[in-house]
A and B are shown apart, each in its own frame.
Chain A
């Protein structure tokens, strides 16, 4: 597959999905959460929102390396052959100041229902700078797209 093809698949998937599974960990103990996500137009980063009192946020502060899983399953048997899944890995950080405002604006265009949540000062906008996308199709076909090469 060429880069352009992979990116097209990613864009289509990210446009159609609202939620992602976020994996974080601390001291070697992994944790999982569901988050509303939003991908940057250039695909180099993915943004989600969380309050700072959460377990996931505490994990991020201790260890910024995360994985996100975004997929197209219908929760039916046909998913095995038909669903597409992407794992994005990278380092996370909290967006502050102007970057936070821009990220929040972009995020709310996708998730307008979360406006009250995002506007709260207790809510952090977390940016994941993606280093690799792992795209899985046809159950076992896996290709990697390295964003930082």
Chain B
């Protein structure tokens, strides 16, 4: 997206900020968006539509012009070329932008005009607040599901806050990615919002006037209660298939009716379905006919097949929405892949159970079994078989990493959004302060090294402890080998730790860094939960718990997979010693794999440019010749931009770590500069003044460890290990995401 942002062109259409649906010209899509105009059209056609109003794009434009918000959004997206951002980095920016919308108040005059325009009807009783973007539901580009909707909102303040959240969804990760793919510039997009009376539907559903599975049929789906459960897939509907030619009912497939979605005091909730409704289909056959008939009227009116949302409120059939059916081919459906990157809460709870109860224990058992094999006693052909088997397991676990572990990290993001929606904090990443409650594997290891360092300080011999440490963790992967051979490096690190006595001021500028402590974290969590509404508190607690598990796992899974990799490398090393297998073959079997960010199995991975694999270094990073510290360089980076992944500011001498050999030179107080923090590098984090990573993301492994240790961290710095040279003096500003070199 090259080019500059221009202030909005004069809108020759009305500058009204609110237009009631019954006065909205259905052609005014630029002002009111697709959804509002479709509803206005349906009302004109005589279909029953709940009363409501459109908050126009003019309102959005006025809002973002206030308080420099438009430019604040631009600055958030300017840290690097949008085309080079990974999905994670886009999500991170989207969270920050969303928080801008939450913390930037409406200008008083605009607020007043909105209140007046919405009137009492829409600011007292319960309403739905939904996106209505121009271009949404248009031919060739369906934004369905990408922007946001909120159900059962009451009161002016809540309505206006949710209008802002719908505006913010123009800048969500999925919306940004989808627009990037379509070649649309979000900076030229605007958002309108529909505010409508909530139809308290006892029976609701959707109707496709043309069945996606068979063009000769229509398809009707219905549930008890509100539509939400059906639309987001948590509640299975009853289904009716009808013959388009004549409208005859062909088939009714009942569902297991166990739950329904009902409004609560301040939202909606999935509840168990009352006993007497479980055996009753949401619609009688006659009612199914009536609903289908209404949907066909919409199709006739619009002249194209329609996807119609409907409900029976007070026993009156009401049309909630009607939009053209988009086929998979038309939508191009990488949209589905983007949506699948974010997992729902229920999905993640299931995934957590599988990870904690099946996958991780299984990985541990396999690693233990491998460790139990005495490689030297294997015959040559047995050794070869063992290597092949270990390679197979390594590939398997890397695939699991991609498909299960990486998506599980989304638990952290779910919590982040919830926290920010409740608290409206100044720092949109403050929520991470609530997450580190359990011991992380790498920190536990580091604590053992710290104990040995304490021993050294008092003159105690650490030989036995070190041997025990190596025995326990020796199979951790270390570049192309394992930790087992790193006795000297570990001695050096322990020595460095001993030299930096814990009570000392760190040799850097800025406040003394603090390692996170469990008591403080718990206190923060309690304060947050107290702010959550009563009816939502239990859910918030569950989301927090899930997020903590996700947070912990980001470190732990690295450690566990590192062991498997280490066991593979150990076997390969034995084969090399024997010299019985060709070197090239061994190289192939030992070649590292990098997990990739993929959509759900069955969906295509997002093909977005810049979406590099989670752990894959930039091409040739290890092979490029790096200038020495004193060598003249014609081109020098002076200030590098990245993401502010760990707050604080620190100054120190850079130590660029490309291969694990580089770790053996690490001195206390240096700044770790790397492509991405891997299991071998976590050992130096307690010594480091700050961390700089090429890989981007606020919530990547290196950022998490940096926050746990309270040191500044900047991520997403392109070519970090090429732009910075070991020995360069660097200042790392973790508040702004800037690294100053020299």
Contact = CB atoms under 8 A, between A and B. Distances in A.
Contact of A78 (B74, B632, B636, B738): B74
Given A76-B7, A140-B736, A141-B641, A81 B71 contact: yes
Given A77-B68, A77-B71, A78-B71, A2 B635 contact: yes
Interface string B212-233: 0000000000000000000000
Interface string A59-71: 0000000000000
Given A139-B75, A149-B632, A82 B5 contact: yes
Contact of B75 (A1, A3, A80): A80
B4 A140 contact: no
Nearest to B3: A82
Given A76-B7, A78-B4, A82-B4, A140 B639 contact: yes
Interface string B664-691: 0000000000000000000000000000
Given A77-B71, A81-B75, A144 B638 contact: yes
Contacts of A147: 634
B78 interface: yes
B71 A143 contact: no
Given A77-B70, A78-B74, A81-B71, A141 B632 contact: no
A25 to B, nearest CB: 22
A81 B74 contact: yes
Given A78-B74, A149-B634, 5 more contacts: A77-B70, A80-B71, A82-B5, A140-B736, A143-B635
A134 B638 contact: yes
Contact of A142 (B7, B68, B71, B638): B638
Contacts of B68: 77
Contact of A6 (B4, B635, B736): B635
Contacts of B640: 141
Contacts of B639: 140-142
Contacts, number: 63
B718 to A, nearest CB: 9
Contacts of B71: 77-78, 80-81
A2 B636 CA distance: 10
A6 B6 CA distance: 26
A74 interface: yes
A149 B690 CA distance: 31
B79 interface: yes
A139 B639 CA distance: 10
Contacts of B77: 81
Interface string A126-149: 000000001000111111111101
A57 to B, nearest CB: 31
A67 to B, nearest CB: 15
B637 interface: yes
Interface in B38-82: 68, 70-71, 74-75, 77-80
A146 B738 contact: no
A143 B637 contact: yes
A143 B634 CA distance: 10
Nearest to A148: B634
B316 interface: no
Contacts of A6: 635
Nearest to A3: B635
A145 B634 contact: yes
Nearest to B7: A76
Contacts of B70: 77-78
Nearest to B738: A140
22 contacts: A1-B635, A3-B634, A74-B4, A78-B6, A78-B71, A80-B74, A80-B75, A81-B75, A82-B5, A138-B78, A138-B641, A139-B75, A140-B639, A140-B736, A140-B738, A141-B640, A142-B638, A142-B639, A143-B636, A143-B638, A146-B635, A147-B634
A147 B5 CA distance: 33
A75 to B, nearest CB: 12
B62 to A, nearest CB: 15
Interface in A73-125: 74, 76-78, 80-82
Contacts of B736: 140
B725 to A, nearest CB: 14
